[in-house]
Structure 1
């Protein structure tokens, strides 16, 4: 399994900034040939090679895909519903990374009704 460990570490640090009600329920799991971060068992974000995978609520998918550093997640050669990839250029600052993490957390929270 090859994934950007530095990106994974940046995510871990960012997740610790969330309230205990969120970050204490985050787990890591090897998925999709990379590393996924789950909130109470629901995938939020992950790292595949050098890209960030993000679960995005359906009504925000179109807006997310307008970003030049975003593409549909096509792990199976077919776009996956509510999944995107963000390239490293879209993750250059901590603010940029935080934006994507927030979208992933939002997706999980809606599924969990937190």
Structure 2
């Protein structure tokens, strides 16, 4: 499955003013990196991948349409897949902006690569 290009464009618009933003095709999707760290990605398996503070993972998992990222059969703390609310086809703008801010806020705490 290819990543959702419309979702990637919406993320790109939200990140347009971020200094040092780069885009890279990864994991079948399109990742958005700041300081060399992936903050969010339009996933090749659908939805949005978001990097978050691992300590916040349990609270964020309580939101609708959110699950842990699983890679090679392992759940990854600090990485979430976001599909949005089950009753809508897409992430509403305010929800998407919040998730992008979550990812950006966390990677800004990390040292540049």
Q: Which TM-score tier does this pair reach, normalised by the shorter chain?
A: 0.7 to 0.9
Q: Name the SS for the 1:3 alignment partner.
A: coil
Instruction: Quote the residue 1:8 is aligned against.
Output: 8
Larger fraction in helix: 1
Q: Please list, as runs of the form range in 1=range in 2, the aligned pairs for 1:1-114 lying within 5 A after superposition.
A: 2-16=2-16, 18=17, 23-49=18-44, 50-89=46-85, 92-112=91-111
Q: Which runs of 5+ in 1 are unaligned?
A: none
TM-score, normalised via structure 2 length: 0.86
Larger fraction in strand: 2
RMSD over aligned Cα atoms = 1.8
CA positional deviation for 1:58: 1.5
Worse-matched range after superposition: 84-93 or 101-110: 84-93
Q: Deviations over 1:29-62 (max 9, x none)?
A: 1111111100010110001132100000022111
TM-score, normalised via structure 1 length: 0.86
C-alpha contact (below 8 Å) 2:64/2:85 kept by paired residues: no
Q: Which runs of 5+ in 2 are unaligned?
A: none
Q: Name the SS for the 2:42 alignment partner.
A: strand
- Separation in 2, partners of 1:8, 1:52: 9
Q: How many residues align?
A: 108
Q: Deviations over 1:58-82 (max 9, x none)?
A: 2211111111210000132211121
